[in-house]
Amino acid sequence: TLPVAVDGASTVVEAAAGRAAPQLVMPNHNDHAFVKVALDDRSLDYVSGHLERVGDPLLRQLIGQALWNMVRDQQLKSTDYLPLVASKVTTETDPELIESGLATVTATIARYVPDDQRDEQAHRSSEVAWEALQALPADEAANDLRIIWARTLIALAITPEDIARVIALADGELAVPGLTIDQDMRWEIAIRAVAHGIGGSAERIAAERERDPSDRGERAALRAEVAVPDAAVKAEAWRRFHDEGYGSLHLTAAAMSGFHWHIQREMLEPWTMAFFDRVRAVFETGENQFTRSYFASLFPNGRIEQAVLERSRGLLGEIGDAVPLLARSLREANDDLERAIRCREFAAS
């Protein structure tokens, strides 16, 4: 290693002059610097082929974070990142690195992949998760990894084929040695089935509610109720969000979390811009905890479109600093939305 004082976007390393070029350069070895780094082409090529040869888990973590930052900064296409991660996460041995890597996969598909490639990329990643899950040994030592891969498999289920697979797991029609589909997973599968309009979903929710009569089950059932792909259901839920709610803050927050689904974006069009018409009054009159839940669930975050960004910017300009919490929430959402738009454009280029 060579000590370097990093200053600015690029730094010349005089001590490296004349030396043989290494196959991999990691500018922040051992995470000593407060700096965001990107890999050069030679290093990226090495990582793509041989990341598993890097023996230090911390260094692998830093490389993974650098790759993720490159996606977010439009230095690496999301559609190139996904197969790279897929080829490496299955050879990783550290559960924390596997979990963090898979979290970036689901986030990439949700935010940074162009809409016309989203289903295909999700299905490919789902296939990787399914194969990895099946390949795990059935012993107790692999329990944590089984849970990580199973949760990822469920989160990636957005195509009919992949939703059918996780439903079959919940129903016992498919089995993975050593895997138990816990109640949280069962609810996630059931709610996903509702949102996607899968037949028998209402009966599935009723069965899960009987299986889980707890507060968690009540909240999950409300989320499922609002997730139904029916405009009348959405209209009634929207009314209740702004009127009597669902009996308590926690129950109303649970209901709001079921409102937006990517597959329902056309049906939800009337409420995309309506959010911006209502949100100021909500923040001016509501309690902080309610307004945070309201914004987190009802801002049209899944509509990664310039028109939504412009409307949000317009509202921010209108309110200025008159509603500080709303202004901050809008700034953060706008930054995230702008980044997602740029990443999708870069991936499509």
Residue 88 lies in a domain: no
- Mean pLDDT over 133-158 rounds to 96
Residue 72 lies in a domain: no
Residue 275 has pLDDT above 90, yes or no: yes
Residue 99 lies in a domain: no
Amino acid at residue number 52: E
Read off the DSSP letter of residue 22: P
Residue 7 has pLDDT above 80, yes or no: no
Q: What is the pLDDT of residue 121?
A: 98
Which ranges of 52-114 would DSSP assign to H, the alpha helix?
57-72, 78-89, 95-111
* 45/106 Cα distance (integer angstroms): 23
Closest CA to 260 of 233, 220, 227: 227
Residue span of the structural domain in which 348 resides: 268-349
Residue, of 295 and 2, whose pLDDT is higher: 295
Residue 272 lies in a domain: yes
Contacts for 8 with CB less than 8 Å, ≥ 6 apart: none
Residue 303 lies in a domain: yes
Contacts for 95 with CB less than 8 Å, ≥ 6 apart: 144, 145, 148
Amino acid at residue number 230: D
- Helix (H) / strand (E) containing 212: none
For the packed helices 160-171 and 115-135, what is the interaxial angle rounded to 10 degrees?
30
pLDDT in tens, 297-330: 999 999 999 999 999 999 999 999 899 999 999 9
Residue 290 lies in a domain: yes
Computed over every residue of the chain, the mean pLDDT equals: 95
pLDDT in tens, 174-211: 999 999 999 999 999 999 999 999 999 999 999 999 99
- Mean pLDDT over 44-48 rounds to 96
Residue 336 lies in a domain: yes
pLDDT band at 4 (very low <50, low <70, confident <90, very high): confident
pLDDT in tens, 225-271: 999 999 999 999 999 999 999 999 999 999 999 999 999 999 999 99
Contacts for 143 with CB less than 8 Å, ≥ 6 apart: 178
Q: What is the pLDDT of residue 27?
A: 81
Residue 29 has pLDDT above 80, yes or no: no
Residue 287 has pLDDT above 90, yes or no: yes
pLDDT band at 16 (very low <50, low <70, confident <90, very high): confident
Q: What percent of the chain has pLDDT over 90?
A: 89
Residue 301 lies in a domain: yes
Q: What is the pLDDT of residue 36?
A: 86
The number of folded domains in the chain is 1
Residue 84 has pLDDT above 90, yes or no: yes
Report whether 185 contacts 151 (CB < 8 A): yes
